[in-house]
Structure 1
Amino acid sequence: MSDHLTRGGETVAIVVVTYNRADLLVNLLDGLAGLQRPADAVIVVDNASTDHTAGVLAECSLPGLRVVTTSENLGGAGGFRAGMKAAYDGGFDRIWLMDDDVVPAPDCLTVLLATDEDCVMSVRENTDGGLIELAATRFDLRNPLAIKPKTASVMSTYPDRASMPERVELENVAFEGFMVRRRVVETIGLPDASFFIFYDDVDYALRARRAGWRIWAIRDARLVRQLDFSQQHDLSSWKGFYMYRNLFVVHLRYGDNALVRAKPWAIAVVVTLVALLRGRRGEARNVIRALRSARGMRSLPQTSVD
């Protein structure tokens, strides 16, 4: 039994999902080792990496480290589902999710645990200290004319961390610094692995909020990104398919009215026409496939933790 348990404090499992970024993972593991308040467990989901990730993990002496190696790449969504289930089954009070390309400040976990809320989020910054938190402060699923539902973010609202209040309420999150208490998982279940990548974290935040929880970004909980943030992807690629499909799924599941739930069809028609006019046949195929696939994902996932 850890001294955190004997003191009566909450136990914490950190869940990390990694895929073929062993050198970044080393920096993250070093950061976790330097936490002022260490986690009670660190569960690393190795998504069938083909680089030297296995060697990095084998050599790591981080206390409480547990490695879950998948037989295939489950994507971020499947990886976080597997990691969260392992943490939940381990009986931990809080579960803290992060990718392999971040490093928490030494006091980050201490600051998060000082906040008595069930859903909290650390606030990301670049290596130069600039604010780079893109989690939404407004996520509009009421207005059918809002093409992109994220209409405001922490970063677009505040020029720097010093300008933020101590807490900022969020309407969606990233699985890159998001922490939940186990009662949230008991109520809404695990992340939906069928998203594969993109919007799985948005879906989870929407489920939590609709179950009655508020989500708070904690200003002084610093998480540093090791890579520049880039949300630009080739919409004709396999990633483009998931970006379109999962955006459509969010509208179909959570749109507040019929017009919002009809947006995926409108977007698909416009994108197809424009893409064909500009010779981007791959993007046109993607958006048509995405709409067909999204229709099969309209139902919410089961809430059981299986």
Structure 2
Amino acid sequence: MVAVVVAYNRRDLLAQTLDGLAAQSRACDAVVVVDNASTDGSGAAARAHALGPDVVTLPRNTGGAGGFAAGIAHALQSHRADLVWIMDDDTVPTPAALEALLAARAAYPGEPAVLASRVVWHDGRDHPMNTPRERPLVSGDLALKARAVGAVQIRSASFVSLLLDARAVRAHGLPVAAYFLWNDDFEYTARLLRRRVGLYVTGSVVRHLTKTFGSTDADPGERFRFEVRNKLWLFARSRALDPVGAVLYGGSSVLRWARTIARSRQRRVVLRAGWRGLREGLGSRPASTTAELAGLGPVSAEVAEVERGAGRG
């Protein structure tokens, strides 16, 4: 089991993440830190940490999507991981977080592709940014199987503490690096879970130390471009959703966009960014992850190998 942490310019928070990984009741077999071209010494701080992580330094910032794609590929290719536990550098796992995920996986009468932790904020409240989407219309049998191991069946989840089965990754490929930020986790987990089992394990708890308590639609400013573009790519270009799911989630997204615009204190900025995202989402398609992460050194070859094996390279 290999943990992968994507880091960018949050050296002090990264130290807390590594402290949390070092304190796990079930130790990780290895820890990979992807230094996404940080300028604050995050990579050096990770190398100096007593946990002794394997630090992969990227020459340019590839965003969360690219960082996780590179880190997962490195865990699979260099560490031969059977399971990959991914998180951001502002995520601090409680001591039993990994043990609870592995216990639920072992007890479940099947092979979950994804297991997600319960994510709380500084004060212990469930973080609205990281609430998994429950699988709709799940059968009573599947619901009971999940409940028996202290879990809920899910359709997608965030990248904040996610345990991935390497077999599912090799079958379906890596996160789409072109998303850079926003909806990369939605697209990826929905792709993995289209026909596979995902579990939300409430007994596995991590703290997400964001500056503010809220969801991603809280006055996003220029970043609204990526919310719109990436959602359109997801609905039109991805294999994550079937046609019915694309229509349902698409309708939900349009309503969410309307609420975001209505609540914004910089409405012109949000509208301009949304219009740009709309044009890009309808007029282009994301580059392959292999192409997007080319020129990064040895990790680029690892990415290409995983994507090629999944038929996405």
Aligned to 1:154: none
Residue 216 in structure 1 maps to residue 199 in structure 2: yes
Aligned to 2:121: 126
Counterpart mapping for 1:233-252 below 5 A = 233-237=218-222, 239-252=223-236
Match of 1:79 among 55, 67, 70: 67
What SS is found at the alignment partner of 1:282? Answer: helix
What SS is found at the alignment partner of 1:110? Answer: helix
- Please tell me whether the aligned partners of residues 178 and 287 of structure 2 are also in contact (alpha carbons under 8 angstroms): no
Once the 2 structures are TM-superposed, how far is the Cα of residue 124 of structure 1 from its aligned partner?
A: 1.0
Distance 1:293 1:106 in 2: 43
Aligned to 2:174: 190
What SS is found at the alignment partner of 1:57? Answer: helix
Counterpart mapping for 1:1-306 below 5 A = 12-63=1-52, 65-89=53-77, 90-114=79-103, 115-116=105-106, 117-132=112-127, 133-137=130-134, 166-210=150-194, 212-227=195-210, 228-230=212-214, 231-237=216-222, 239-252=223-236, 253=238, 254=241, 256-257=243-244, 260=247, 267=254, 280-295=267-282, 296-297=284-285, 303-304=310-311
Once the 2 structures are TM-superposed, how far is the Cα of residue 13 of structure 1 from its aligned partner?
A: 0.6
Aligned to 1:6: none
State the AA in 2 paired with 1:79: G
Once the 2 structures are TM-superposed, how far is the Cα of residue 127 of structure 1 from its aligned partner?
A: 2.8
Once the 2 structures are TM-superposed, how far is the Cα of residue 60 of structure 1 from its aligned partner?
A: 1.0
* Percent identity over paired residues: 32
State the AA in 1 paired with 2:75: A
- Cα distance change of structure 1 residues 261 and 194 upon mapping to structure 2, 3 Å threshold: farther
Q: TM-score, normalised by structure 2?
A: 0.74
**CA offsets, 1:8-30, max 9 Å, x none?**
xxxx1101011111110111111
- Cα distance change of structure 1 residues 221 and 285 upon mapping to structure 2, 3 Å threshold: same
Instruction: Give the number of equivalent residue pairs.
Output: 264
What SS is found at the alignment partner of 1:171? Answer: strand
List gaps (5 residues or longer) in structure 2.
Answer: 107-111, 138-146, 290-306
- Cα distance change of structure 1 residues 82 and 279 upon mapping to structure 2, 3 Å threshold: closer
- Please tell me whether the aligned partners of residues 186 and 304 of structure 1 are also in contact (alpha carbons under 8 angstroms): no
**CA offsets, 1:125-162, max 9 Å, x none?**
2233222351112579xxxxxxxxxxxxxxxxxxxxxx
- Cα distance change of structure 1 residues 83 and 262 upon mapping to structure 2, 3 Å threshold: closer
- Please tell me whether the aligned partners of residues 37 and 60 of structure 2 are also in contact (alpha carbons under 8 angstroms): yes
32-41 vs 129-138, which moves further: 129-138
Q: Whose helix proportion is higher, 1 or 2?
A: 2
Q: TM-score, normalised by structure 1?
A: 0.76
Distance 1:298 1:22 in 2: 31
Q: CA RMSD in A?
A: 3.2
Distance 2:177 2:217 in 1: 23
Distance 1:214 1:204 in 2: 14
- Please tell me whether the aligned partners of residues 186 and 305 of structure 1 are also in contact (alpha carbons under 8 angstroms): no
List gaps (5 residues or longer) in structure 1.
Answer: 1-11, 141-162
What SS is found at the alignment partner of 2:243? Answer: coil
Once the 2 structures are TM-superposed, how far is the Cα of residue 235 of structure 1 from its aligned partner?
A: 4.2
State the AA in 2 paired with 1:47: N
- Cα distance change of structure 1 residues 259 and 173 upon mapping to structure 2, 3 Å threshold: closer
Once the 2 structures are TM-superposed, how far is the Cα of residue 164 of structure 1 from its aligned partner?
A: 11
Distance 1:281 1:111 in 2: 46
Distance 1:279 1:32 in 2: 39
